Amino acid sequence: MVHLLSHILSEDDPPFPNAPTMRIKPFARIENGDVCNTSVIEIFNHFGTHMDAPKHFFDKGLSIAELPVDFFIFNKPLILDIPLDAEQLLTKEMIAPFESEIKKCDLLCIRSGFALKRSSDPNVYSSRGPGLSASLCKYFMDEFRNIKCIGIDWISVTSYPHLEDGILAHRYLMGSFHDRYITVIEELNLEKVYKRDIGKVIALPLFVKGSDSAPVTVIAFEDGTEKTE
């Protein structure tokens, strides 16, 4: 079975505080006498399910279109269920019980359960989401060279009430202090993936020259399907 792990984009989706969203403007419409339907889509590149490239917080880092194409294929993904509350930061201590599993993966996905707030309480989801602590991100960079990407089911690595710590967390992952980087997929839809591990994930962003980030379509194959070594 194949699962879509991206949220379908909607103008009504909650944004990160003070950030733009998305607009769809009709360009041609059959009902108005045009021969076809077309639209102009304006979208903030950090809206909805999207991938942060190193350039997002490291000006000398690679943009989304400069990453090698095979980077977006993950053969050893792992989903960890770690419940998080509003404004709570994920720490090294909370990750420690899973270290042996994490050392084997190339895509680490954290399912916090906070994604339920996306529809039930979008205000809290947007402005009081959990985050990855800066110390945890440094730990990932120092100890897990196998990880190419981290995926989360809430709005941002940065918890808005912990803005400074979130900025530092991003800087660690984007490679500001190391000789490598870990990209991030924010706002994954992990609700319908019931197994902790899946066989393979493909995450293809919109390849825009020079962009620090882009919307990404993420699909997952269940364990044993389309798996390669």
pLDDT tens figures, 100-111: 999 999 999 999
Picking from 16, 68, 82, the residue whose alpha carbon sits closest to that of residue 181 is 68
User: Which is it for strands 149-152 and 107-111: parallel, antiparallel or unpaired?
Assistant: parallel
pLDDT of residue 44 exceeding 70, the answer is yes
> Which domains, ranges and CATH numbers included, belong to the chain?
2-221 (3.50.30.50)
Three-class SS state of 160: helix
pLDDT of residue 57 exceeding 50, the answer is yes
Sequence-separated (6 or more) residues with CB below 8 Å from residue 128 = 86, 87, 159, 160, 161
Sequence-separated (6 or more) residues with CB below 8 Å from residue 14 = 118, 122, 123, 125, 126, 155
pLDDT 10s digits, 204-228? 999 999 999 999 999 999 875 444 4
pLDDT 10s digits, 73-87? 999 999 999 999 999
DSSP characters for 179-191?
Answer: SS--EEEESB--T
User: What is the separation, in whole angstroms, between the first and last Cα of the chain?
Assistant: 19
Helices (H), 182-221: none
Mean pLDDT of the chain: 95
Q: What is the pLDDT of residue 225?
A: 47
Helices (H), the chain: 92-95, 99-102, 117-120, 122-127, 134-143, 163-173
Query: Could you give the CA distance from residue 198 to residue 107 in angstroms, rounded to a whole number?
Result: 10
Q: What is the pLDDT of residue 162?
A: 98
Instruction: Assess contact for 207 and 219: CB atoms under 8 A.
Output: no
Picking from 7, 68, 49, the residue whose alpha carbon sits closest to that of residue 184 is 49
